[in-house]
Amino acid sequence: MGPLTDIGVLNSNWELLIALVIGLAFGYVLESAGFSSSRKLVGNFYGYDFVVWRVFFTAAITAMIGLMYFSYLDWIDLSLIYVNQTFIGSAIAGGVIMGLGFIIGGFCPGTSACAAAIGKIDAIVFLVGVFIGIFLFGLSFPLIEDFFKSGAMGSVFVYDFLGISAGMFVFILVLFAIVSFYFTARIQRKAKPVRY
Amino acid sequence: MSANTTTKYMNPYLAGFLLGLILLAAFYFTGEGLGASGAFKRYEIAVLEKVAPWLVEGHHFFGSHLKSGESILENRLVYMILGVFAGGFISGVVSGRLTWKVEHSPKISSKTRLIAALAGGMLFGYGSQMGRGCTSGSGLSGMASLSLAGFIALFAIFGTGFLMAYFFRKLWI
């Protein structure tokens, strides 16, 4: 029963090797889907290419349904899965800053890595920016530490927050995704095509 | 680059399904999802540790990930991002997309694009630390594990992107 490293089946050296292989597959699929092109990624925000929306939502739903089935079949102990802790203020502030970075820079850190790997110079420059941004965050940390640690809610599940069951939440999300795929396809057909 | 010099991209739903399986495998094997910004933070701290140890030691951010007798680079995210570079490169070779270029809208110069890329990268780097993870770690993996934090990250990142798109349209369309 998984997760294999947490229950001691695999030691930490195996974990690093597996992470490398998972990263390899991650990068391959991102590049194959077109995530190495900033103009394709940003098309999501102008309606001419919703590839980000489609890939992102399909991946999230596939993984969450997979985790539920793995748990149901006793293949994985969900209580050992890492659940991101919620810090309400810094999560929103960080997300807003990242959203600005996305629309200005055209990448996120993962996609810039796979774009840099195929020779996109704008992606390499974006990555340099990421390192500078992390450094500036570190320098400013004494000023924002209190805010960064405020609003701690612990590892909260979204379905508990909404007061519904996990199964119901995922079901509603899948319906939402399917409807959104239909409407984004319509928007994309009407949008002025962009060549890139 | 015109369409006939590059091979077609993978169907987005197929790519999403495969990415979901990769994410599921990450959870099954390691108990954690995917990530990118965490690796860059660790590379940066590893360098700072060498060139400016006085800055790192006792610092609440730079120093918080250091454990005595253990390298900050012995971490799964550090290895994962090496895989992302390699995987992206292999896909680029297979699909014939390997080329040095600055991709930008015909309405802006390469220089403008590079300045925007640097500024955007800086914002994303800063925001990823503020938000405890980027699109992969906080957003995608957080959503898959059904954490509230993942959905907040998703709404904040994409919501801001949609709201601000109008103001930066000259960069793209």
CA distances from B85 to A61, A124, B77, B82 (A): 25, 12, 13, 5
196 residues of chain A, pLDDT tens digit each: 778 877 777 777 888 999 999 999 999 999 999 999 999 999 999 999 999 999 999 999 999 999 999 999 999 999 999 999 999 999 999 999 999 999 999 999 999 999 999 999 999 999 999 999 999 999 999 999 999 999 999 999 999 999 999 999 999 999 999 999 999 999 999 998 888 7
- What is the pTM assigned to this prediction? 0.95
Torsions phi, psi of A192, nearest 5?
Answer: -65, 120
Please report the ipTM that was assigned to this predicted complex.
Answer: 0.95
User: CB-based contact (8 Å) between B28 and chain A?
Assistant: yes
pLDDT, averaged across chain B: 93
B110-121 pLDDT tens trace? 999 999 999 999
Same domain for B139 and B88: no
Question: What's residue B68's pLDDT?
Answer: 76
Q: Distance (Å) from the C-alpha of residue A123 to the closest C-alpha of chain B?
A: 7
Q: Exposure of B138 by Cβ count < 10 A (0-12 exposed, 13-18 middle, 19+ buried)? A: buried
Same domain for B45 and B27: yes
Q: Which residues of A touch B49 (CB under 8 A)?
A: none
Considering CB atoms only, which of A25, A123, A158 is closest to B146? A158
Q: For B10, left (φ over 0), alpha (ψ -120 to 50), or beta?
A: beta
Question: What's residue A84's pLDDT?
Answer: 92
Same domain for B132 and B92: no
User: How many CA atoms within 13 Å lie on the side-chain side of B29?
Assistant: 23
Residue type at A126? F
Same domain for B38 and B118: no
Same domain for B80 and B134: no
Q: Which two tokens stand for residue A45?
A: 């925000």
Question: What's residue B2's pLDDT?
Answer: 44
For residue B125, what are the domain limits?
102-173
Question: Nearest to residue B92, comparing CAs of A128, A30, A122, A127?
Answer: A30
Q: For B36-43, what is the mean pLDDT?
A: 96
- Residue B6's pLDDT band (boundaries 50, 70, 90)? low
Report the distance separating Cα A57 and Cα A33, nearest Å.
Answer: 14
Is pLDDT above 50 for B3? no
Q: Do B161 and A37 touch (CB under 8 A)?
A: no
Is pLDDT above 50 for B171? yes
Q: Exposure of A144 by Cβ count < 10 A (0-12 exposed, 13-18 middle, 19+ buried)? A: middle
Same domain for B121 and B91: no
Higher pLDDT pick, B22 / A5: B22
Report the distance separating Cα A180 and Cα A45, nearest Å.
Answer: 14
Question: What's residue B7's pLDDT?
Answer: 64
Is pLDDT above 80 for B26? yes
Q: Do B92 and A31 touch (CB under 8 A)?
A: yes
User: CB-based contact (8 Å) between B42 and chain A?
Assistant: no
- Domain end marker among B72, B99, B126: B99
Q: Do B148 and A48 touch (CB under 8 A)?
A: no
B43-60 pLDDT tens trace? 999 999 999 999 999 899
Considering CB atoms only, which of B41, B124, B142 is closest to A84? B142
Residue pairs between chains A and B whose CB atoms are closer than 8 Å: 523
Same domain for B82 and B71: yes
Same domain for B169 and B136: yes
Same domain for B19 and B87: yes
Considering CB atoms only, which of A36, A58, A135 is closest to B44? A135
